[in-house]
Structure 1
């Protein structure tokens, strides 16, 4: 399953502990570490501990219960549904009646606490990272855990984009993004709506397979399960005479932005897999590579101050990598990305050319489908995560990760199987 999104290898060599992941929501606890400034303002900040709630659905229910627009609810990032998650929300409250409703609000499986006020919405930049407590049940080979940890400290901890980046059950978001970049909206549309994928319910898979082969809009609207509301909405647009492009453009902005971002993530994962296969370590850098630096405060973060490695700074970069104050980074391709003749650039060029994509294609006429490109750190740096584990029949892992890093990706090296 993972190789579909470019995750093709492990960096550690020891056998994994296998085990059962997320047997219950309580087996996966995640709590945000955010830098929030409290004071006066129209935005009321909530700290919410929720069980078995995904963020987008919780926001929908919250807005309905308070009778306010979802646009007046802000947060720093999404959390998985099958988990216990502690997350901050900022709500723009405009009246005493709304504030009173908020004070009296009760939502099933959610503990809601008003923690202060602020003068602006919560943004992604407010998030430093997340603290995790994860239980893996019925583990085997637990004596390998310290050996795997030692390897990760020596070789690096791959910072792949997790499967969640590419969809909830059908990991096709990057394929949609690829065809949007190619301006082939018809193919992008039908991949999103109808391409069958292993792991989906038998009912949904059967309907998608027929729809994929027939492109029968009437059949799709009749047979697709009601919970596939975006797919049904897109088919309805076609039924109304809209084009595939116009139908895709009707989707919510945050969903439209995910398509091209997922394709960038797919290229990144492939290049990172190849890097591990080629070098065997993420601590090895060459001239032409890119790196980022570490802030070590209460919780470590990456500076997002990406520097190209060249003759003048090579020894300094090597010194900082050896001391775990610097980490290899890989470009996420976009229209401002400059590719050289270094190893990483050649691999990025290979995957783009294979898919028929040019860097200029990322400058899309619709901003939701456009990206100038950026970078992502390739090594999580496990030595800064406060990584701990406890073995009592089951294995409990405790650690912190900077924003954008996936707990499932860190733990897959220990478990040696997909964790989603």
Structure 2
């Protein structure tokens, strides 16, 4: 698939499955309560400071809508409201927000709660909550009316043991991939003034390229096995390096101290070499306009792990439903875990 300047509905079902397409199917997100996500901060709140942290349980609202609500009812500027990450609207999300406030005055929170917003906890902290300041998320997901439940249970066990491709989820690309259409229009020279749309377009194009490389590695049977010139990324870090494939590297991979990686394209050199560089270039070069756009907009070349291992993964059968729970690091998608296990139906 090559870049096109025209609007279209993108078919994003072509990315390869690690263990073949699942046979099981289920109803997904019939109700917000079927998808519960709880943020995990990477630091302890100090209990004092000029920022009030509020853990809010939101229902059928996106993160920006909660920010706007908080700013309005608390009489604050929107920029005084901090958050770490965006959460799905069609969910019950327990998410932290910070409000800049004088240390010598209390904030009246009496107007914050409504049928879609509940306060769980409040605590002071020294610094504002910034985007990306997130350790991860815990998910509790109810899959309803599961068909071929034995296939789902078998696949859950496989995923727990061996992980999944670290694909960006479909929500990254917008409804029917419309964020990719914006990337096409922009890269073809159409001016886009809306900063939010620009951000969505850049993120979608970059994520699509990453997913394409991951899918190519699965199809070429080198998803779990390193090839010459591969770039490895350190667990829990953005640091990456290239190295010869030897017993030490293989041991570190098996212990999940390092992971295989794929490009997050931008300006700068790709550290991959030899076979890995050839594989990545073949995929990336199918989208020269997106590459040019990402470079022109100043995004730095980075790497992202291609393997994702859910932590604390558990599941239980409840009649025709299956309830699945797991933890994921920041930036990982629960839908990418479920994609390897079950097909969603309306």
TM-score for both structures, normalised by structure 1: 0.73
Classify the secondary structure of the residue corresponding to 2:89: coil
Written as runs of structure 1 = structure 2, the 5 A alignment for 1:101-116 is: 101-116=108-123
Contact 1:7 1:160 in 2 (8 A): no
> In structure 1, what is the equivalent of residue 189 of structure 2?
185
> In structure 1, what is the equivalent of residue 60 of structure 2?
52
Gaps of 5+ in 1: 187-244, 295-301
For 2:263 and 2:255, how far apart are their aligned partners in 1? 23
For 1:358 and 1:264, how far apart are their aligned partners in 2? 8
Q: Please provide the CA RMSD for this pair.
A: 2.6
Say yes or no: does 1:83 pair with 2:11.
no
Shift of 1:105: 2.9
| Cα shift readout 1:70-115 (whole Å, capped 9, x = no counterpart) | 1000111000011111000011124978x44335532332111452
> In structure 1, what is the equivalent of residue 300 of structure 2?
372
> In structure 2, what is the equivalent of residue 345 of structure 1?
277
Written as runs of structure 1 = structure 2, the 5 A alignment for 1:212-223 is: none
Classify the secondary structure of the residue corresponding to 2:341: helix
Contact 1:89 1:122 in 2 (8 A): yes
For 2:76 and 2:32, how far apart are their aligned partners in 1? 29
The alpha-carbon distance between structure 1 residues 15 and 119, as it changes in their structure 2 partners (threshold 3 A), is closer
Shift of 1:5: 4.2
Classify the secondary structure of the residue corresponding to 2:171: helix
For 1:263 and 1:274, how far apart are their aligned partners in 2? 17
Classify the secondary structure of the residue corresponding to 1:400: strand
Structure ranking higher in helix proportion: 1
Which of residues 243, 250, 262 is equivalent to 1:330? 262
> In structure 1, what is the equivalent of residue 242 of structure 2?
308
Q: Which has the larger radius of gyration?
A: 1
| Cα shift readout 1:47-86 (whole Å, capped 9, x = no counterpart) | 0011111111111122122221110001110000111110
Classify the secondary structure of the residue corresponding to 2:200: helix
Structure ranking higher in strand proportion: 2
> In structure 1, what is the equivalent of residue 210 of structure 2?
268
| Cα shift readout 1:124-172 (whole Å, capped 9, x = no counterpart) | 44311100000111102211234323443665411100011111x2412
Q: Of the two structures, which has the highest relative contact order with CA contacts closer than 8 Å and spacing of 6 or more?
A: 2
Gaps of 5+ in 2: 1-7
For 1:404 and 1:136, how far apart are their aligned partners in 2? 22
For 2:30 and 2:290, how far apart are their aligned partners in 1? 43
